[in-house]
Every structure is written in C-alpha cells, then in structure tokens.
Amino acid sequence: MGFLDSLLGGGTGLGPGARAPEFALDDQNGKRVALADFRGQKNVVVYFYPKDDTPGCTRESCAFRDQFSDFADAGAEVIGISSDSVASHKKFAEKYRLPFTLLSDPGGSVRKAFGVPSSLGVLPGRVTYVIDKKGVVRHAFNSQLNPAKHVAEALGVLASLS
C-alpha cells in the first residue's frame, strides 16, 4: 500500500488468519447468497468497493471480469459488495457484462463486520479478501488508488492455495 493509500484509509480490517464473518445478502438478481454456501467447496474472493458505475469501481470490476476465467480455473468464487441497491447492481453488472456476483449491503453491516476502513473518514473503502474453503481470511489488500492491483493480489494468493 502506498503513502497516498494510507492517507486515504489504510489497513484492511480483518487480516490473515481471522475467520471471515458469516453473511447473507441479496445479489443483483435478488437471490440470497451466503458465504457459507461456498464453505468446503470453493475459495472466495470478496471485494468491497465504494459505488457502482464510478471510474475506480468500474476499472476494478472490469479487471475482475477480464480475468474471471483465471479465478474460475483457480476454483474461486468472486463476489463484489457495496451498499448500492440490488437494482443498481443489476444495471452495473449488465452494462459491463460482469459474470460474477454483486451483493447489496445497504446498511453496510457486512462492511463493518469485516472492518473495512473508510477513506478520508467518509468514502467506503476498497478492500479485497481471499477467504479459503474453511472460511479463514488468507489475504487482505487495501488500495483505493490502484483498483486493478486487487485482481493481481487475489490471483497470486489463490495460486499459493492450490
């Protein structure tokens, strides 16, 4: 994490070795998705992002989209979470052809449970977690300014888990 990122809200909340908080939220199609759905079956990459269809969030989500087959090949599920509505997520996913799950966390309770820091005290942070099949955080990465690096970080960790 660079100097500017640390000024914008450094830290990752939960770190490696922590148990990921359980959650169940609605996806862009209104379907309930729980972290427990993947336990014992897949590693999960959860990325928290500030807002649908903004420049940095679009870059980050499209980077996950562009390397989605690499995540699938690694046996991992990709899940994006923001406080935007189900309808906003549906529009965002369709506009950019996002092939993965976007979850709506309207009150920010899941974001808080993970301890995702705010940027400048007001903007929702941008943190990615790699969670193993047992529900343990294996890696956490925070960068508000380098959205695409979240993908490279997550893929690197997944390669070490296989």
Using DSSP's 3-state secondary structure scheme, residue 16 falls into coil
Residue pair 116/48 in contact (Cβ under 8 Å)? The answer is: yes
- Terminal-residue alpha carbon distance, the chain: 25
The DSSP H or E segment spanning 25 is strand 24-27
Per the DSSP assignment, residues forming a β-bridge with 16 are none
- Between CA 137 and CA 140 the distance in angstroms is 7
N residues, the chain: 162
Q: Exactly one of 33, 45, 57, 102 is catalytic; name it.
A: 57
Whether 62 sits among the annotated catalytic residues: the reply is no
Contact 127, 115 (CB under 8 A): no
d(CA 129, CA 143): 12
Provide the annotated active-site residues.
57
